[in-house]
Amino acid sequence: MIKDIKTALLLFLVLVVMTGLIYPMAMTGIGQIVFPHQANGSLIRQHGRVVGSSLIGQHFREARYFWSRPSATSPVPYNGAGSSASSLGPNNPVLAQHVAARIKALKAADPAEKGPVPVDLATSSASGLDPDISVAAALYQISRIAQAGGINTVTLRHLVQQNTTQPLLGFIGEPVVNVVKLNLALHERYVTAQVATGSLTTR
């Protein structure tokens, strides 16, 4: 009996050291060496300052910037500490009301755009933190941004194309646009002269 207990305790200690110390340290070390950017949060820097992460979206309000997907996090949109979806099912009338209100707001912001509103601009993601939008969602906003920022639509289309991430291996997933990176590129190239110098995280 005592021998069995000692064996069990020894095995327990070995597993604790292996799974609780050696394995985490090994994975952390490999991550820092092989994937340092991803291992440290995929941070986005602007002029040496961390302005966000490519994994977490941000809320943009000004008409001259691209807008992200709606976010259901509380108490503010894209709250990384409160990741959550709206938890509204497809048959819930409240969801229909939210979608209708978002579509109305998008059309009010750009009455000249007569095309259908891409679904990701009217619905929130499962996490509430989705940093990407579809290419269609980015292109839908060009008319509004061109008018608000005085930028040529061809230039904006080219900017979207430059900041489009293609599917993994060419066929896994869909092309997407990271809104934070796109707005940083827009800010750096075309908006700097119109706004005070600073991070886009405050807009």
What torsion do the CA atoms of 187, 39, 41, 175 make, to the nearest 10 degrees?
60
Are residues 137 and 93 both part of a single domain? yes
Residue ranges making up the domain that contains 85: 42-202
Are residues 22 and 110 both part of a single domain? no
Classify each residue of 44-54 as buried b or exposed e, where b means 16 or more C-beta atoms within 10 Å of its C-beta.
bebeeeebbbb
Strand order in the sheet with 164-165: 132-134, 176-178, 164-165
Please state the separation of Cα 109 from the chain's center in Å.
Answer: 22
List 164's β-bridge partners, or say none: 177
Are residues 92 and 13 both part of a single domain? no
State the pLDDT at residue 157.
95
Are residues 26 and 119 both part of a single domain? no
CB-based contacts of 47: which residues, under 8 Å, 6+ apart? none
pTM summary value: 0.78
Are residues 20 and 81 both part of a single domain? no
State the pLDDT at residue 191.
66
Are residues 83 and 150 both part of a single domain? yes
Q: How many domains does the chain have?
A: 2
Are residues 20 and 106 both part of a single domain? no
Taking the CB of residue 147, how many other CB atoms lie within 10 A of it?
Answer: 16
State the pLDDT at residue 197.
43
Are residues 135 and 54 both part of a single domain? yes
State the pLDDT at residue 154.
93
User: Averaged in consecutive runs of 10 residues, what is the pLDDT profile of the chain (203 residues)?
Assistant: 86 92 91 84 84 90 93 88 82 91 94 92 91 96 92 93 89 91 89 50 39
